[in-house]
Amino acid sequence: MTRRNLITLAVVAVLTALCLAAVLVQQFQVPVLGHKGANTTLGMSLGLDLSGGTHLVYQADLTQLQSGQDPTEAMQGAINVITRRVDAYGISEAVVQKQGSDRISVQLPGVRDVDAAVKLIGSTAQLEFKEQQLDGSGSPAVDANGKPLWVPATAVDSTGKTVPLTGQYLKPNAQVVIDQTTNEPRVAIQFNDEGAKLFEQITGRLIGKPLGIFLDTQMISAPTVKARIAGGNAVIENIKLSDARNLVVLLNAGALPVPLGEPIVREDIDPTLGADSIRKSLVAAVIGLALVIVFMVLYYRVPGVLASCALLIYGILMLGVFKLVPVTLTLAGIAGFILSIGMAVDANVLIFERMKEELRAGKTLAGAIEVGFVRAWPAIRDSNITTFISCVILYVIGSMLAEPRMMGFALTLGIGVALSMFSAITITRGFLRLFVGTNLETKLRLFGVDKPAQAPVNKEQK
Amino acid sequence: MLDFVSKRNWFFLVSGLFILAGIIALAVSGLNLGIEFRSGTTMTLIFEEPVDQAALRTALTDLGQPQAQIQHSSKDAFLVQGVAASPEERQKLLEALQAKFGTTTRIVTFGPAGNTTAGNTTAGNETLAIMLGTGVAESELSDAIAAAGYPGAAVSQKTLDSYLVRAGTISTDRKAQMQQALEPQFGPMNFLDFASISAGVAGERVRYNIYAMIAAAVGVLIYMIWAFRKLAGSFRYGVCAILALVHDILIMLAVFALFRIEIDSMFIIAILTVIGFGVNNIIVVFDRLRESKSLEGRVDLATRVNMGITETISRSINTSLTVLFACFALYAFGGSTIHSFMLALIVGIIASTYSSLFIAGQLLVAWDSGDIGRLFRWLPLRRRES
């Protein structure tokens, strides 16, 4: 028994050391997510409510899909496009996820110009080339307001079909160039082989006429074609530098396969507030833990000390698991963590109360430990299992709703419940068994029992 | 052995009165729902020049937001000119200042026209408003800005007007238009924060959160019926546990309704936490009843409930105290963002400790001894029917 106990404790020690190493070592290696210059918080990955940033949710309009297009593929395509856009825009660590069947959640940590990012993510970015519609006499047609009417510029592709020239024929290597003579920005674009042939036909047909370049039905520019252009290289002129940069991002990331429009949810979380609340919450957590330990030691004496050790080990294991899984830490997750500490303490308290009852009834320490654990077990098991059931339900509903707070809470609490049972059952019991056979065994006052008295009311049930 | 059961109607009365007060508050003024559960936009506007609240209200009405609620607050800031025009440069300055003055440092840009898009570098024309924690002297900030590479910067201290505005949903385009419309009248301005939730999502969140709680309750109920299956009327244990949990949630809602504290999505997390905690407490008491099953038939349920509560009361109070310690510490030192969350937890944990000691087991006894039937017979409505 003693040998097995020592092995158990050795395994616990190794696990704890591993988790402690994971927590501490990476502190020096992993840069904190999102905002630089703030607290690193042990290199944990932090949720938006702690790191600051913007949370956007877009609703895809799946009714706008072309017939035969698979909605799941279109959504995945949209996610890929958005990921490329935010990457190209320079937002590192953005998280783009599908929510439900038709929503996309975008988390942008520490982004600077949110409005620009919102526009960039939500624009469909369909680039179109158009020519002016001609009326019966061959001169450009105009609408009621005197504005020229534009129709898609088409050409014949390699399969013999007449198709419009759009951004889908572009190579993803558009770039901003500054004109050497005028110092004006331009966007250099390059068509793929098919696009180059289309472009050559169209420019050949439109010599002396304007070729309209449209992004999402907005005209960017309409240069007059000077000559037939072969080889597929073109430039877009008459564009502001900031617009040129965004256009390049959009063109290289490709068009969204499904329109998104305005975000249905937009929340800016002040990064400084977040960083501040982590620092304060950490201080508060340490104070809280210290209070718990003082209370446990004063009230339960030796077992209180052991439970405090078990609690510290539990805390280290939790942080280790958080980091290794990794679990993104959010305020809601911290709440789950606190509750799980409460439950870990509770499991210990339950066991100690039972042990006390047994010691008062005149049992030996060894007997009291074993019977105390056996008696406390059903209550610990049932309360942890009900909590665990709730966690699973909340996690599932949280992921359906794509509510990261609920998921974070359920995940941390679920892990916490599992670890707290391990902590109470294995670690505390292992520690307690160490005392069996030592001379401490006879000093019952150290276990919070003044003297063995008559057994309480329920003695007849033993 | 202490007697918790015979005075049960008093315990029910205390809780009932509390919940009644909450229901009255709820009926009179409703819950103060945060943006997550209301559709619309919440934003904080900050102005370089003093702005009159009435004038801002009129302007917002003209912009199509007649329902907007406006709340004024003053923000101490330092206005700085001649530094860091591009967003990248501003970010560098912010990091330098945060390293020196702490992470609560913020920088907001004022005009021209709030247009800070990369490329339109209008160096030197913007004013930065730097907000620090308390107790930083102007000269200290001046030195820090000089050290960050802007020795020529002009720094002056000023108290700025800021307004928290709750309005209908405002799109990104409308936001830009709003700024363009407000700046000619009120001078340079910017947004400290901006949150927008569409109507469909807000309603959906409320719905799903309620589903989540119902699903969790059903899960708990089913497991408890199974766990107590060997006891007579095992169904009652689960139902009484759920009723006690509903009691805890109602008390939390009552406190938040009475004091008009804003309910945000973290409140839901607090409720879920309290459910987890409450189930734990109730199971510990009920576990003793399961253990004293052998006495079933010989000793009445009321005595067994009394025994169970007496045996577990020190554990219940100790566990609650340890969790409350952690919560009070987080409440006192954890920063303003988690205040209302911790308050919800504290209220909920006290309520659930009370209900596990004074409500859950007592409900079981009340059910067992036919109190409910008596209550119905006593009700005037029922009397007329029969």
Say how many domains are in chain B.
2
Confidence grade of residue A224 (pLDDT, cut at 50, 70, 90):
confident
Cis peptide before B380 (omega within 30 of 0): no
What mean pLDDT comes out for the span A294-299? 86
B149-158 burial code (b ≥16 CB/10 A, e <16): ebeebebeee
Mean of the per-residue pLDDT values of chain B: 83
Same domain flag for B221 and B350: yes
Contact A353 B205 (CB under 8 A): no
Residues of chain B in contact with residue A266, where contact means CB-CB under 8 angstroms, are: 172, 194-197
Place of tokens 């609240």: B53
Cα–Cα distance for residue pair A275/A41, rounded to 1 Å? 9
User: So what's the pLDDT on residue B14?
Assistant: 92
Distances (CA, A) of B148 to A34, A435, B87, B221, B246: 22, 61, 15, 61, 57
- Give, as one character, the DSSP assignment of residue A129: E
- Higher per-residue confidence, B265 vs A355: A355
Average pLDDT for residues B333-340, to the nearest whole number?
A: 74
The CA-CA-CA angle for residues B86, B194, B176, to 5°, reads 60
Name which of B171, B208, B280 is nearest A346 (Cβ-Cβ). B280
Instruction: Say if residues A56 and A264 touch (Cβ distance below 8 Å).
Output: no
Which residue bears the tokens 């590192």?
A92
Q: Do A276 and B335 touch (CB under 8 A)?
A: yes
Residues composing chain B: 386
Q: Does B20 have pLDDT greater than 90?
A: yes
Say if B3 falls within a structural domain. no
> Is the pLDDT higher at A330 or at A104?
A104
Query: What is the pLDDT at residue B354?
Result: 94
A461 CB burial (10 A radius; 0-12, 13-18, 19+) = exposed
CA distance B323 to chain A (A): 5
Query: Furthest-apart CA pair in chain B: how many Å?
Result: 91
Residues in B closer than 8 angstroms to A335, CB to CB, are: 266, 269-270, 273, 341, 345
Strand ranges (E), A242-321:
265-269
Cα–chain center distance at A70:
26
- The set of residues, in sequence order, having a beta carbon less than 8 Å from that of B126 and lying 6+ positions away, is B81, B85, B109, B110, B111, B112, B116
Cβ–Cβ of B216/A353 closer than 8 Å? no
Instruction: Give the DSSP H/E element, type plus range, for residue B36.
Output: none
Provide the CATH number for the domain around residue B216. Answer: 1.20.1640.10
B138 and B254 assigned to the same domain = no
Confidence of residue B355 (pLDDT cuts 50, 70, 90): very high
Cα torsion angle, A223, A227, A229, A233, sign: negative
Final residue of a domain: which of B166, B197, B228? B197
* A-chain residue closest to B95, CA distance: A37
**Tens digit of pLDDT for each residue in A4-44?**
888 888 888 888 888 888 777 655 444 433 333 333 455 66
Residue B166 has a pLDDT of: 87
Domain boundary among B197, B229, B244: B197
Q: Tell me the residue length of chain A.
A: 462
Residue found by looking up tokens 């020190």 in the block? B314
Q: Which of B196, B266, B275 sits opposite A331 (nearest CB)?
A: B266
* pLDDT reported for residue B335: 66
**B223 and B80 co-located in one domain:** no
* Residue whose pair of structure tokens reads 């049932």 in the numeric block: A382
CB-side neighbour CA atoms (13 Å) of A315 = 18
Task: Supply the CATH classification number for the domain A53-124+261-267.
Answer: 3.30.70.3400
The packing angle between helices A331-360 and A271-300, to 10°, is: 0
Same domain for B63 and B24 = no
- Asked whether residue B32 falls in the same domain as residue B168, the answer is no
Contact call for residues B114 and B68 (beta carbons, < 8 A): no
Nearest CB among A267, A295, A401 relative to B325 is that of: A295
Say yes or no to pLDDT of B256 above 90: yes
Ranges assigned E (strand) in A191-257: 211-215, 218-221, 233-236
> What residues in A contact B314, CB-CB < 8 Å?
353
- How far apart CA B222 and CA A349 sit, in angstroms, is 27
> Please, which pLDDT band fits residue A273 given cuts at 50, 70 and 90?
low
- Residues A319-354 pLDDT 10s: 888 877 777 777 778 778 877 877 788 888 888 888
Cβ neighbour number for residue A332 with a 10 Å cutoff: 30
Last residue of a domain, one of B197, B219, B250: B197
Q: Which contiguous run of DSSP H or E holds residue A332? A: helix A331-360
Interface membership of A30 toward B (CB under 8 Å)? no
Residues B41-59: what's their mean pLDDT? 90
Residues of B in Cβ contact (< 8 Å) with A393: 212, 215-216, 219
Nearest to B106 among A272, A349, A393 (CB): A272
- For residues B289 and B378, membership in a common domain is answered with yes
Helical ranges in A136-192 per DSSP H: none
Judged by phi (left if over 0) then psi (alpha if -120 to 50, else beta), residue A313 lies in alpha
Least confident of A19-33, A56-70, A115-129: A19-33
- Chain A residue numbers touching B90 (CB-CB < 8 A): 112
Contact predicate A292/B328, CB 8 Å: no
3-class DSSP string for B78-108: EEEECCCCCHHHHHHHHHHHHHHHCCCCEEE
Query: B64: left (phi > 0), else alpha (psi -120 to 50), else beta?
Result: left
B1 occurs within a structural domain: no
Better-predicted residue by pLDDT, A33 or A363: A363
Q: Do A284 and B276 touch (CB under 8 A)?
A: no
Closest Cα in chain A to B294: A461
pLDDT at site A42:
58
In a domain, B215, yes or no: yes
Which residue of chain B is at minimal alpha-carbon distance from A392? B216
Which of A98, A99, A104, A100 lies closest to A121 in space, CA to CA? Answer: A104
Tell me whether residues A277 and B266 touch, CB distance under 8 A. no
Its pTM stands at 0.76
B338 CB neighbours in chain A (<8 A) are: 277, 281, 331
Residue A295: left if φ>0, alpha if ψ -120 to 50, beta else—which one?
A: alpha
Question: Do A2-34+270-461 and A53-124+261-267 come out as alike in CATH topology?
Answer: no
Q: Which helix (H) or strand (E) holds B164?
A: strand B154-167
CB-based contact, A281 to chain B, within 8 Å: yes
Sheet containing strand A218-221, strands side by side: A150-152, A127-132, A211-215, A218-221
Record: contact A277-B196, CB cut-off 8 A: no
Domain that holds residue B87: 40-197
CB contact under 8 A, A403 and B227: no
How far is A72 from A74, CA to CA, in rounded Å? Answer: 5
Supply the pLDDT for residue B114.
42
Distance of residue B288 Cα from the nearest chain A Cα, in angstroms: 9
Q: Which of B87, B208, B270 sits opposite A113 (nearest CB)?
A: B87
- Please report whether residue B377 resides in a domain: yes
**Residue A279 and residue B103: Cβ atoms within 8 Å?**
yes
- Is B166 contained in some domain? yes
Domain co-membership, B150 together with B281: no
Interface test with A, best of B115, B325, B327, B342 (most A CBs within 10 A): B325
A454 compared with A282, residue with greater pLDDT: A282
Is B232 in contact with B148 (CB distance < 8 Å)? no
Out of A44-48, A399-403, A424-428, A447-451, the most confident range is A424-428
Query: What values do phi and psi take at A235, rounded to 5?
Result: -125, 145
> Is residue A376 packed enough to be buried (19+ CB in 10 Å), middle (13-18) or exposed (0-12)?
buried
Least Cα separation, residue A158 to chain B (angstroms): 41
Q: Do B333 and A284 touch (CB under 8 A)?
A: yes
Sign for the CA dihedral angle at A436, A440, A445, A446 comes to negative
* Residue B356: burial class (beta carbons within 10 Å; 0-12, 13-18, 19+): buried
Which one of B95, B131, B287 would you mutate to disrupt binding with A, by most A Cβ within 10 Å of its Cβ?
Answer: B287
pLDDT digit string, tens, across residues B98-140: 778 776 677 888 875 444 433 344 444 678 888 876 677 888 8
Residue B205 lies in a domain: yes
Residue of B270, B272, B327 whose CA lies nearest to A386 = B272
* Residues on chain B touching A395 (C-beta within 8 angstroms): none
* pLDDT reading at B380 higher than 70: no
Q: Number of residue pairs across A and B with CB atoms under 8 Å?
A: 259
d(CA A236, CA A221): 7
Q: Which residues of A touch B172 (CB under 8 A)?
A: 115, 118-119, 122, 262-263, 266
Residue B200 scores a pLDDT above 70: yes
Sign of CA dihedral A408, A414, A416, A419: negative
Residue B184 has pLDDT above 90, yes or no: no
Say whether both B236 and B334 belong to one domain: yes
In a domain, B227, yes or no: yes
| CA-based radius of gyration for chain A | 33
Cα separation, A380 vs A382, whole angstroms: 6
Residues B204, B189 within the same domain: no
Fold classification of A127-252 is Gyrase A; domain 2 (3.30.1360)
Residue B164, C-beta contacts closer than 8 angstroms, at least 6 positions apart: B42, B43, B44, B70, B71, B73
Q: Does A418 touch chain B (CB under 8 A)?
A: no
Instruction: Select the more confidently predicted residue: A197 or A436.
Output: A197
Nearest to B277 among A272, A283, A339 (CB): A339
Residue of A nearest to B1 (CA): A457
Residue of A nearest to B131 (CA): A272
- Chain A neighbors of B91, CB-CB under 8 A: 112
Tell me whether the omega of the peptide bond preceding residue A152 falls within 30 degrees of 0, making it cis: no
Tell me if chain B has a CB within 8 Å of the CB of A178: no
From the list B201, B266, B332, the residue facing A265 with the nearest CB is B201
Give A50 to chain B, closest Cα distance, Å.
10
DSSP, residue by residue, B277-305: HHHHHHHHHHHHHHHGGGGBTTB-HHHHH
- The CATH number assigned to the domain with range A2-34+270-461 reads 1.20.1640.10
For residue A397, the one-letter residue type is: I
Question: A3 CA to chain B: closest CA distance, Å?
Answer: 32
- List of chain B residues whose C-beta atoms are within 8 Å of the C-beta of residue A299: 318
- The Cα A4–Cα A436 span in angstroms is 14
* Residue found under tokens 């029917």: B385
- Provide the residue type at B199 as one letter: A
Give pLDDT tens digits for A137-153.
777 777 777 778 888 88
Structure tokens that stand for A73 in this block: 């593929």
Taking the Cβ of residue A155 and every Cβ of chain B, the question of whether any pair is shorter than 8 Å is answered with no
DSSP for B290-356, written as a single string: HHGGGGBTTB-HHHHHHHHHHHHHHHHHHHHHHHHHHHHHHHHHS-GGGHHHHHHHHHHHHHHHHHH
For residue A212, what are its two tokens?
């309209």
Question: Cβ contacts of residue A229 below 8 Å, gap of 6+?
Answer: A199, A200, A203
Q: Does B188 share its domain with B89?
A: yes
Is residue B5 within 8 Å of residue B300, measured between CB atoms?
no
Is residue A187 classed as helix, strand or coil in its secondary structure?
strand
Chosen from B121, B213, B280 to mutate, greatest number of chain A CBs within 10 A: B280
Residues A46, A342 contacting (CB under 8 angstroms): no
Domain residue extents for chain A: 2-34+270-461, 53-124+261-267, 127-252
Picking from B94, B208, B224, the nearest residue to A401 by CB comes out as B208
Q: With an 8 Å Cβ cutoff, are A393 and B319 in contact?
A: no
Same domain, B168 and B300: no
Please report the pLDDT score of residue A182 as a whole number.
Answer: 83
Encode A401-439: b = buried (16+ Cβ within 10 Å), e = exposed: bbbbbbbbbbbbbbbbbebbbbbbbebbbbbbbebbeee
Nearest to A281 among B193, B223, B334 (CB): B334
- Closest residue of chain B to A299, computed from CA coordinates: B318
Sheet architecture: strand order including A95-99: A95-99, A103-109, A53-59, A265-269, B189-197, B40-47, B154-167, B69-81, B127-131, B106-110
